[in-house]
Amino acid sequence: MVGPGLFILCAVFPLLSRADVTETTFAASNGAPIAQPYAWSRAGPSGPLLLQDFPSMDLLAHFARERIPERVVHAKGAGAHGYFEVTHDMSNITSSKFLSSPGTRANVTVRFSTVGGELGSADTARDPRGFSTKIRTDEGNWDWVFNDTPVFFIRDGAKFPHFIHTQKRNPQTHLKDADMFWDYLSLNPESILQVMYLFSDRGTPDGFHNMHGYSGHTYKWTKSDGTFYYVQTTILRDTGFKTLDRVTAGTLAGTNPDYGTQTLFEAIEAGDYPTYTVYIQTMTPEQAEGFRYNILDLTKVWPQNIYPLQEIGKLVLNKNPENYFAEIEQLSFAPANMIPYIEPSADPVLQARMFSYPDTARHRLGPNFNQLPINCPLFEPANFQRDGWGTIFSQGSRPNYQSSIQPLTYQANPGWIYGEGCAGGEACDYERRRNHENFLGAAYRDLSEFTELDLEQPRGLWAYIWNDTQRAATVGNLAAHMANIKNVTIANRQLSIFTAVNKTFGDSVASALGLPTVDPLVVKNISEAVKFRAYIGYSLNVSVIEGTSNLQEIAYDDYYRD
């Protein structure tokens, strides 16, 4: 390890803040003591200020550069530190060392956020919430970049910037625009399940720390013998998902826009530590191929009565940041940050996020963002990434290329594939690897299409999961927002999607808006849905999905648990 004295800032979690520093003598940025911070050298009592007063000039110059670019999404947020503890041996699912020893603890930092608003926006706005966790393990940082809903609006990676633009401000008026908002959603009906979640009272959680978290994406947990499971992760708040009604959330947005930030900080300060239980759902590759829905589809859930939750650990938040900017604003997450035996699936939105998240960190924080104390791993990585803005440590005298002068040690990541065999010469199930790792097919421009299959889970949510009170709240929330639509064609197009889910649903929203009822959206037959084929991901040879589903059987009631 090079420079252990310097690297201790990263390696020791309690030193993330410098609260231990007791020296309080006021000094300039170069360390020279200054007697009067408010005084400025000038030419006599009435003369001009002198440019030679370096501390004062330096203060103004630094002040003009205090702000960094805000996150393009998830700009408004709050966070805390704590720990994740493994409670169950998961060696039957993965060969991850971290997950195989119950009682193992790792320090974490969690950031909660809204998605569409700017830094000064309200914590109680109707918006999905981010729930991101950085787990500092002995084998690297593992980032869970989750949301508070199990699905999202899109399943095509290229749609993300378009969608986010519609959640931001109109380029002409610089105002939030209901026509833009609903124009996009009505033109992309695969968003319907997330729309229903968003406009239920789940869209306005009671504070950041009183909600659940979901991976949404499918990951792969691998074993040293070459086998693996497809996995989704769920974080459930131990005291339940608490919500605000539309009126209360709107009132708080005006009277206390930092409500979520305040209640999180005050709860931890009072010793009322937020606690969560972490679960996974698993599928074998064979189960994935037989699953009614595509496991790579971010707009679908895995029914918990078919793929039950399995506990893996506990998450506890017990320490507030000492400095918000250093520990929360400079915090970065990336779905690409994984540890050995944890891998991404071919989910196209996940694949896009794996590039986008570290890239936005480079924009916000510079190319060496992973050297910041809040982001760096427990141990200094030895590699060939050198120099650039914001370099904190540059690996000393080691050559910046693969060298025989000061050779590095190369240790195979046993969770990765290195050709036809397994790392370390172990036997493995090569046939399964061949079928589920080699993506064979012509390159083409892929874009998903909406079919009857996409209406099944929204229909189950409306008919079997929500009670009358929840249905009425959702209709009221939708009507309150859609009343701002100026273009009736857009409103009718969205109403046709609601009507395709359930006629009573669509008619109720239309009635609340004072609009005529509309016919349901005409969609493609279920036989045209693309079925998951692991050996090439999305199959060009579309497989017919036979029959109709039992909506009550696939109802994912536990997703709506308190």
Q: Which CATH superfamily is domain 77-371 in?
A: Catalase core domain (2.40.180.10)
CA terminus-to-terminus distance, the chain:
48
Which of these, 142, 222, 145, lies nearest to 437 by C-alpha position?
Answer: 222
Reported in sequence order, the residue ranges of 223-319 that DSSP labels E, i.e. its strands, are 228-237, 275-283, 310-319
Contact 551, 459 (CB under 8 A): yes
Establish whether domains 77-371 and 453-560 are of one fold.
Answer: no
Point out the catalytic residue in the list 74, 81, 209, 212: 74
Q: Are the C-beta atoms of residues 207 and 268 closer than 8 Å to each other?
A: no
pLDDT of residue 414: 59
Let me know: does 225 contact 182? Beta carbons within 8 Å: no
Domain boundaries in the chain? 77-371, 453-560
Which H or E run contains 499? helix 488-501
pLDDT digits (tens, 9 = 90+) for 405-457: 888 888 766 555 544 445 444 445 444 554 566 666 667 777 889 999 999 99
Look up 525 and say whether it is catalytic. Answer: no
At 444-468, the pLDDT tens digits run: 777 889 999 999 999 999 999 999 9
Q: Is 357 annotated as a binding residue?
A: yes
Pairwise CA distance, residues 392 & 384, whole Å: 15
Q: Is there a catalytic annotation at residue 147?
A: yes
pLDDT range class, residue 383, cuts 50, 70, 90 = confident
Neighbours of 341 (CB within 10 A): 25
Q: How much is the pLDDT for 92?
A: 97
Q: What pTM was estimated for this model as a whole?
A: 0.90
Number of other residues whose CB lies within 10 A of the CB of residue 399 = 14
Query: Residue 47 burial by CB count (10 A; 0-12/13-18/19+): exposed, middle or buried?
Result: exposed
The percentage of the chain sitting over the pLDDT mark of 70, rounded to a whole number, equals 85
Contacts of 511 (CB under 8 A, 6+ apart): 517
Q: Give the pLDDT confidence of 198-226 residue by residue, as tens digits.
A: 999 999 999 999 999 999 999 999 998 88
DSSP string, 534-561: TTTEE-SSPPP--S---TTTT--GGGG-
Catalytic residue, from 81, 107, 141, 147: name it: 147
Gap between the Cα atoms of 135 and 110, Å rounded: 9
What CATH superfamily classification does 453-560 receive? Catalase, four-helical domain (1.20.1370.20)
Using one digit for the tens of pLDDT, what is the confidence trace for 98-139?
999 999 999 999 999 999 999 999 999 999 999 999 999 999
Please, which residues have CB within 8 angstroms of residue 396's CB and are 6 or more apart in sequence?
Answer: 2, 3
Q: Are 509 and 495 in contact (CB under 8 A)?
A: yes
